[in-house]
């Protein structure tokens, strides 16, 4: 890989080989968060707001102010705009956001630029805006093709909106990802199979299949606690995940992470940055960043974020610099999510630790339990291990002195 090109305000281009050589220190990826939604879904735990659309322009002012902390435009290989619903912005505000990205980030050759979209808020003009400004990938939150299940999830789009949105996107942007959720209260295995088949008929280049989680404090969590909704049983959820792996793989999409499948060459490069535990920029409400070994996350309170950013103050809520051992344990935990697993030599190069030095007992225990496979060069989840991935991942944080998991980068697809 060649050295990174960084363009200054004067227009001069300098070579920064460290950025390319040490991607876990200096970012080549950026996440920007847009919190606005037409409606907050019952299961959503992201930093989102509904009913405050009038603040969108002020929010973009704050985002622009936060971006000035870069000092000068930074070259990146991937951009991800998540939310919230970025495409819920008005046409004018969406264009302003896209221009902000082009002003502050130099897009490296062959870059990937993803924007999340709700099928119900996407129109032809917005698709053209995205394409004209260089967006290369759209991630659509389909979640289900059954109205009854969308109602449980409190989604505000109709199943028919999904193929309509797919057709709109494909008129200008070919790299298309779809999100699906399984384990929804009341969902039967037959309905999940129908959702998988409906999504695959649309021939996405990427498909994510997430098991529903009940995040504390969300409306859906409260409904479960009150007995209003009943989670599907564990065996049914296991069968649903097995169906996802088998059906999606049979359609030609390769599983490359616990919940993600792609046609060869269409893996989400931005999310691979997170799972590699490489550095990334993060801007906006609740956004996380990881730069030079320092992790930080912005406040999730909208007025506080805007006020601080517009006053030139840091909107960060918390920050930490992990010890070398904590970084190594976290790297192992993230690498094992990938289907290719942990390469011992690459792990040593990135962390300075031997994998077996910090997690040998965990590896041995889960190999003996059939959840991990170890060929001496790399360690990866077995098929059975994918069903219990959370258990295995947590084992890599059990080494002496290891910290907790990193703050999430925001919405990923």
Q: Are 363 and 355 in contact (CB under 8 A)?
A: yes
Q: Are residues 208 and 356 in the same domain?
A: no
Q: Residue 190 sits in which domain range?
A: 4-275
Q: Are residues 158 and 74 in the same domain?
A: yes
The CB density around residue 354, as the number of other CB atoms within 10 Å, is: 13
Q: Specify if 280 maps to a domain.
A: no
Identify the domain boundary among 233, 258, 275: 275
Identify the domain boundary among 258, 275, 292: 275
Q: Specify if 304 maps to a domain.
A: no
Q: Specify if 9 maps to a domain.
A: yes
Q: Are residues 269 and 340 in the same domain?
A: no
Q: Are residues 264 and 367 in the same domain?
A: no
Q: Specify if 229 maps to a domain.
A: yes
Q: Specify if 130 maps to a domain.
A: yes
Q: Are residues 373 and 267 in the same domain?
A: no
Q: Specify if 144 maps to a domain.
A: yes
Q: Specify if 289 maps to a domain.
A: no
The neighbouring-strand residues paired with 280 are 290
Identify the domain boundary among 275, 300, 318: 275
pTM of the model: 0.89
Give the Cα separation of 378 and 393 in Å (integer): 15
Give per-10-residue mean pLDDT for the chain (413 aa).
30 36 88 91 80 95 98 97 94 97 97 96 95 98 95 90 97 97 96 98 98 86 87 95 98 98 98 96 97 95 98 97 92 96 96 94 96 97 96 80 41 39
Retrieve residue 370's tokens. 């059939």
Give the Cα separation of 38 and 35 in Å (integer): 10
Q: Are residues 224 and 368 in the same domain?
A: no
Nearest to 198 by CA among 142, 236, 249, 252: 142
* Exposure of 184 in the CB half-sphere (CA atoms within 13 A): 27
Retrieve residue 203's tokens. 């021939």
Q: What is the pLDDT of residue 402?
A: 43
Q: Are residues 374 and 229 in the same domain?
A: no
Give the Cα separation of 324 and 230 in Å (integer): 43
How many domains are there within the chain? 2
Q: Specify if 94 maps to a domain.
A: yes
- Residue 103: Cβ-neighbour burial (10 angstroms; 0-12, 13-18, 19+): exposed
The neighbouring-strand residues paired with 291 are 294
């Amino acid at each position: 890989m060649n050295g990174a090109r960084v363009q200054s305000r004067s227009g001069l281009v300098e070579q920064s080989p460290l950025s390319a050589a040490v991607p876990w220190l200096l970012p080549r990826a950026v996440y920007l968060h847009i919190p606005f939604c037409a409606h907050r879904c019952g299961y959503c735990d992201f930093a989102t707001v509904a009913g405050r659309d009038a603040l969108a322009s002020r929010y973009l002012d704050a985002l622009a102010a936060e971006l000035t902390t870069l000092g000068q435009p930074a070259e990146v290989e991937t951009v991800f705009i998540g939310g919230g619903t970025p495409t819920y912005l008005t046409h004018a505000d969406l264009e302003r956001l896209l221009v902000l990205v082009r002003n502050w980030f130099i897009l490296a050759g062959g870059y990937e630029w993803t924007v999340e979209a709700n099928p119900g808020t996407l129109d032809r003009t917005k698709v053209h805006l995205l394409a004209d400004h260089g967006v290369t990938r759209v991630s659509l939150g389909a979640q289900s093709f059954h109205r009854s299940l969308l109602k449980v999830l409190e989604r505000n789009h109709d199943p028919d909106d999904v193929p309509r949105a797919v057709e709109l996107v494909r008129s200008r942007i070919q790299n298309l990802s779809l999100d699906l959720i399984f384990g929804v209260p009341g969902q039967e295995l037959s309905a999940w199979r129908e959702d998988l088949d409906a999504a695959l008929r649309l021939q996405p280049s990427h498909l994510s299949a997430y098991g529903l989680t009940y995040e504390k404090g969300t409306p859906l969590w409260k409904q479960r606690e009150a007995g209003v909704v009943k989670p599907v049983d564990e065996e049914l959820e296991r069968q649903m995940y097995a169906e996802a792996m088998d059906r999606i793989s049979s359609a030609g999409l390769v599983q490359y992470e616990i919940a993600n499948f792609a046609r060869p060459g269409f893996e989400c490069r931005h999310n691979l940055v997170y799972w590699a535990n490489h550095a990334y920029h993060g801007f906006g409400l609740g956004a996380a960043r990881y730069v030079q070994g320092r992790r930080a996350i912005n406040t999730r309170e909208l007025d506080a974020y805007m006020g601080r950013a517009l006053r030139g103050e840091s909107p960060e809520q918390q920050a930490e610099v992990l010890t070398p051992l904590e970084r190594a344990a976290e790297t192992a935990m993230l690498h094992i999510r990938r289907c290719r697993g942990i390469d011992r030599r690459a792990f040593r190069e990135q962390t300075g630790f031997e994998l077996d030095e910090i997690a040998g007992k965990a590896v041995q225990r889960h190999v003996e339990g059939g959840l991990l496979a170890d060929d001496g060069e790399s360690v990866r989840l077995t098929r059975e291990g994918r069903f219990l991935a959370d258990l295995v991942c947590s084992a890599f944080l059990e080494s002496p002195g290891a910290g907790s998991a990193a703050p999430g980068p925001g919405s990923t697809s």
